[in-house]
Amino acid sequence: MPKGRAFAPQYASVQHRDETAEIGMWVFLATEVLLFGGLLFAYFVYRHANPAAFAEAGRHTRIVIGTANTAILLTSSFFVACAVNALQADARRTCIAMLVSAMLLGLLFLGLKAAEYAGEYHEHLVPGVDFSYVAPLADGVELFFIFYFVATSIHAVHMVIGIAVLATLAVLLRRSASTRMRAALHSAALYWHFVDVVWIVLFALIYLPGRSGT
């Protein structure tokens, strides 16, 4: 982009540029919905075929860590929404503080997830690495844990990318808070909230089945 211009020549105005960025971000998120959609589809097919096994496997997940991680992610999303709002109000330092808080919560989420994976490894519940589960429904339980590890690890990769993006924005915002930076922060916030929504769905499908014993 040439110096001294707020927006590239293909745009008529700053608003035009920002609206294009926002719509482009939603198009990208639609492709992400379909990436996780394939996983959801597989989950529902196998759960329909193995309802008792999925309930039994759900009881083996760690509900306390899962619930804590959900609360952590919801709170981090709240901080990111606050960061966007604070920047609109020209409270740049508050915005950066909110971004750093959200990043720290994201790292806490990943730490708890790692502890959870370690626990499952010790219980021999990792298909393809070390899976031994002696029960009539072992095959269905293994299918559940294949979904669990594929879905949560793809989600964790998204978390790592999200934390890196927030960190980049926090550094750039220390230097300047141009309208370009505001648009960039808005796109990054949409990504972070999307990763939060994916977790909301995964939480309901992974941690809640089978808790009532039925």
- Which spans of this chain sit near other proteins (rule: CB under 8 A)? 19, 22-23, 26-27, 29-34, 37-38, 40-41, 44-45, 48-49, 51, 63, 67, 70-71, 74-75, 77-78, 80-82, 84-86, 89-91, 93-94, 189-190, 193-194, 196-197, 200-201, 203-205, 208-209, 211-214
- Count of alpha carbons within 13 angstroms of residue 210, beta-carbon side: 20
Token match 């926002």: residue? 22
How distant is the alpha carbon of residue 186 from its chain centre? 16
Euclidean distance between CA atoms 203 and 209, whole angstroms: 10
Is 10 or 212 the residue whose CB approaches other proteins more closely? 212
DSSP-assigned letters across all residues of 58-124: HTTS-HHHHHHHHHHHHHHHHHHHHHHHHHHTT-HHHHHHHHHHHHHHHHHHHHHHHHHHHHHHHTT
Residue 135 CB, shortest distance to other proteins, in Å, is 21
Is 126 or 182 the residue whose CB approaches other proteins more closely? 182
Residue 10 CB, shortest distance to other proteins, in Å, is 18
Is 49 or 171 the residue whose CB approaches other proteins more closely? 49
Is 126 or 201 the residue whose CB approaches other proteins more closely? 201
Residue 27 CB, shortest distance to other proteins, in Å, is 6
The amino acid occupying position 173 is: L
Q: Which of 56, 18, 24 is nearest to 141 (CA)?
A: 56
Residue 149 CB, shortest distance to other proteins, in Å, is 20
Is 97 or 126 the residue whose CB approaches other proteins more closely? 97
